[in-house]
Structure 1
Amino acid sequence: MSFVEKRKRMRILFIGDVMGNSGQNMIEEYLPKLKRKFHPQATIVNAENATRGRGINEKVYKKILSLGADVITMGNHVWDNPEINEFIGSAKKMVRPANLPAGKVPGVGYTIMQINQQKLAVINMQGRVFMTPSDDPFAVATNLVEKLKKETDFIFVDFHAETTSEKQAFAWFFDGQVSAVVGTHTHVQTNDARVLPQGTAFLADVGMTGPYDGIIGMRRENVIERFLNQMPTRFEVDESGRQTLSGCLIDLTDDGTAKKIQTIQINADHPFED
């Protein structure tokens, strides 16, 4: 294989929902190590919970970029930290769900990275089942993919959704049209990483980066209490226990289809290996 042929291929590292200070700590410690180990051409981080478990502020946005992220994706908690309204308009490396009401909210739903001789489009979409209202992700993505295919075959989608069935349906619908559909939001990494028949890499949920001994990142005592008595309970990020990092690595061929997808976990039960 010639140097030119090698250069056309692309490797993407995607890190799942960064949760609070705990998640930021894991990014700070392990993202540089992961990049040295795997040499990705693009590093994407979902950070919609990065600031105290709800939304993101400008300081944390810039911090995650400084630690090695090329693009930051968001989700249904994008507006939870009011400070985002002060900087999202100038946050060129942040994408919020593209199917939020068109023309009614600030920010962008996709971005395009220049990587050597190639371009990578990164799209953020939000599901509708058991989620806050949004426009039809299938229809919005269809129009967006048609537009982006005129510019690049390398298209990555962070599909932020609650149900596995909606994520699977979205991936199968766009099989062969996009390079990868990777789910976020549920904070639990699924064991279904695969390349679909027409070449789209799929993982229902990449998992969470943050507290390892909480319940989807929150202090487990509070969550258990809610299940026991059904009373309103304040959920707080578990910042005192052990920590975890969840992600995936995707190898793309020169036509934008996926060759391989593998999951990544770093925690007490899955120690990092150089």
Structure 2
Amino acid sequence: MRILHLGDVMGRAGRTAISETLPRLRNEWRLDFVVVNGENCTNGMGLSGDHARLLLDAGADCLTLGDHAFDQKDMMQFIEREPRIIRPLNYAKTAPGRGFRLFAAPGGRKVLVAQVLGQVFMKRAFDDPFSAIEQVLRAHPLGGQAQAVIVDMHCEATSEKMAMGHFCDGRASLVVGTHTHVPTADAQILPGGTGYLTDAGMCGDYNSVIGMDKAEPMRRFVTGMGKERFSPATGPATLSGIFVETDDRTGKAKDLRMVRVGGRLEQAAP
């Protein structure tokens, strides 16, 4: 199965890049399944229902969220009506929506997508992500009920993301980190056959400070004082993420490539 996972969509620039580019990529790369992290799609904070529809209409099969899952209040109701959006498993026991779902893919195949939030350096104390994902992986063995399993690990700490990759090795097709908006260069297939990348980066304008217009973050770093609200940068966006091709029999990764399309970081296609 040919799967694409794109990192955090950042503001209008990221939305535009998705809507203008993803339909072409689905066709040219013969993608079977696409996951997009929509966590910062709406003004850099959360995802609205209207913007969720835009990403889904552009070709995303599943949208993941993160610690800003419900910053846009309409998502509280929208996620209950739209099964293609999942929020973190360990967000809160009373949160609407679900933290994992089994999706249909071409040829009668099934793809499990799950998301967890890390605990290290995060602003809120979330439940243990390892025990949360353990229950899901046990109930959906790779190569059995699910022909592919994708885990979106949304957190700050590189070490925690790496630990999750090894924890899921041999039981997931792909473990990919999101949240920091900076793409890493460590794409690899782990010993047990799980594709891994510490952070997919963002789909946004990289002439920025992690997707935000440079002026206000730089002012705060230099002076220690804020003057204005942060606002997403609006220049040309780069789609950043990871491409994985899996073995339909085992569900394990057999090819893995980093993706940078458009904007400032473009590289060769898979």
Q: What range is the shorter-chain TM-score in?
A: over 0.9
In 1, distance between residues paired with 2:269 and 2:152?
27
CA shift digits 1:50-92 (9 cap, x unpaired)? 1111111111111111110000001011011112113111111
Question: 2:131 aligned with 1:139, yes or no?
Answer: yes
Q: How many residues align?
A: 263
CA shift for structure 1 position 268: 3.5
CA shift for structure 1 position 169: 0.5
Match of 1:236 among 231, 234, 255: 231
Matches within 5 A, 1:27-42: 27-42=18-33
Q: Could you tell me which runs of 5 or more consecutive residues in structure 1 were left unpaired when the two chains were aligned.
A: 1-9
Aligned match of 2:54: 63
Q: Could you tell me which runs of 5 or more consecutive residues in structure 2 were left unpaired when the two chains were aligned.
A: none
CA shift for structure 1 position 271: 6.2
Aligned match of 1:81: 72
Q: CA RMSD in A?
A: 1.5
Question: 2:259 aligned with 1:264, yes or no?
Answer: yes
Question: 2:171 aligned with 1:177, yes or no?
Answer: yes
CA shift for structure 1 position 242: 2.8
CA shift for structure 1 position 27: 0.3
Aligned match of 1:5: none
Displaced runs of 4 or more, over 3 A = 271-274
Q: Is the 8 A contact 1:156 1:180 kept in 2?
A: yes
Aligned match of 2:243: 249
Match of 1:201 among 195, 215, 220: 195
The secondary structure found in structure 2 opposite 1:211 is: coil
In 2, distance between residues paired with 1:144 and 1:123?
8
CA shift for structure 1 position 184: 0.3
Deviates more, 1:113-122 or 1:136-145: 113-122
CA shift for structure 1 position 117: 2.6
CA shift for structure 1 position 154: 1.8
- Structure 1 residues 271 and 252: alpha-carbon distance in aligned structure 2, compared to 1, 3 A threshold: closer
